[in-house]
Amino acid sequence: MNKNIFIFTIVTLLFLISSCTHDKKMSTSSVTDESEYININPSDAQIVNLSSFVKDIKYWIPDSSIIVGNISKFEIHKERYYIFDNKTQRLCIFDKNGTFVQQIGKLGNGPGEYIRFQDFTVSEDNSLIYILNSSPNEILIYDFNGRFLKNVPIDIMGKELYVYDDYFWIFTNGSDFYTKRKDKDYNLFKLNQEGIIISRHLKYDKRFDSHSPFNAILNNNKYADFHYSINNNLYKLDSLISLSAVIDFGRNNLPYEIITSKNAVEYLNADQFARVANAVTGNECTYLNYVFKNRTYGFIKYKDNPPINYSFLNNDIDDVSFALSMPFDIVNNKILYIKDIDQFFYNNKKEYLQLKNMNDSIVTITKESNPVIAILTMHDKF
């Protein structure tokens, strides 16, 4: 009898140890000494002039020889602009002057072709280009000359992709209902080069299904910044996931512990609570859009400068409105925005606009022009 109790006790302890190890592997990360707390008081937001922190604006305009329908993502690597046109499902490369260089892959069922282009990323370390396809679920790999090398089948219907060394990070932006895996209810997965899942992070939370983040992964070459606006946290992705910043709205924080699927919309839209809507981080800069009293606000923290908390961004440099626009990327001291042509001419009766391009010359855009990338250079001190 005593022997049986002893064996039972040992088995139970082994099970508990195994469970703790499993839970640790599945967890996101904990607050570390390197984690930053960013405190924001929405009531302190003010109207801010763009010139108070921006010294120059230039516009990168894609060559009109190829029609770009909608820029949904771009990355800049070695003075080449990689543009994903979601409307035409094309990945196009341009040089720094906007001249078209080549297209990577194409729609189709053949080798190196895709049916549902979800995302792409570029690895300068590997000199490779990666396309995330969801029909079938796979990662397509090309060299810098656009030559198709291979595909990696995966068991995830991913939305966003980042590559670090020999690992793939894939974000699903919601529960992956399209797989039969028991662990489908996670949002972020780490895979090896064979496409096998080796860790899972960020448990899917059905309460905030309608507020899942988009463009959550930002490739900074040596690592990626990842924002998970559901819990107001910012993360860093490399070989691991680590918590880099916690956004704290003080008394305006959402009471997550009492929010349910039934009352989530009520709390998310309540005037007294604030939440992160989108975030771009990198190069010692954090740029947030947050929602408070059913309005969008902005917050910028750059190096050791005083943070800027604004209710409206007034462009006193040129005629283009940035108001409450959310940038797509931050490169060194430059904030990059994607601007569709209709944004330039919204409430503007002009037939054309003149903008300063990358060479400091003046170019003219019309309602028929391609989408534009606005590049705002920040002051070192403000």
> What pLDDT, in 10s, does the model give residues 89-145?
999 999 999 999 999 999 999 999 999 999 999 999 889 999 999 989 999 999 999
The per-residue pLDDT for 281 is: 84
Go through the chain and tell me how many residues it has: 382
Residue 18 lies in a domain: no
Take residue 151 and report the two structure tokens written for it.
């595909």
With respect to residue 197, please indicate whether it lies within any of the assigned structural domains: yes
Contact (Cβ atoms closer than 8 angstroms) between residue 84 and residue 120: yes
Task: List C-alpha distances in Å: 134 to 112, 155, 170, 240, 325.
Answer: 13, 10, 12, 25, 29
Neighbours of 239 (CB within 10 A): 10
Tell whether 178 is covered by a domain: yes
Number of domains in the chain: 1
Tokens for 242? Answer: 């680590």
Evaluate whether residue 360 is within a structural domain. Answer: yes
d(Cα 262, Cα 96) in Å, to the nearest integer? 50
Q: Tell me if 108 is assigned to some domain.
A: yes
Compute the Cα dihedral for 125, 284, 91, 195 and give only its sign: positive
pLDDT of residue 345: 79
The amino acid at residue 372 is: V
- Which range (74-78, 107-111, 321-325, 355-359) has the least confidence? 321-325
Query: Is residue 23, in this structure, part of any structural domain at all?
Result: no
Query: Is residue 27's pLDDT more than 90?
Result: no
- For residue 200, being part of any structural domain is answered with yes
* CA dihedral sign, ordered 166, 172, 177, 182: positive
Report the predicted TM-score, pTM, of the whole model to 2 decimal places. Answer: 0.86
Q: What domain range includes position 261?
A: 34-378
At position 275, the amino acid (one-letter code) is R
In a domain, 127, yes or no: yes
User: CATH code at 113?
Assistant: 2.120.10.30
For residues 64 and 368, give the distance between their C-alpha atoms in angstroms, rounded to a whole number: 9
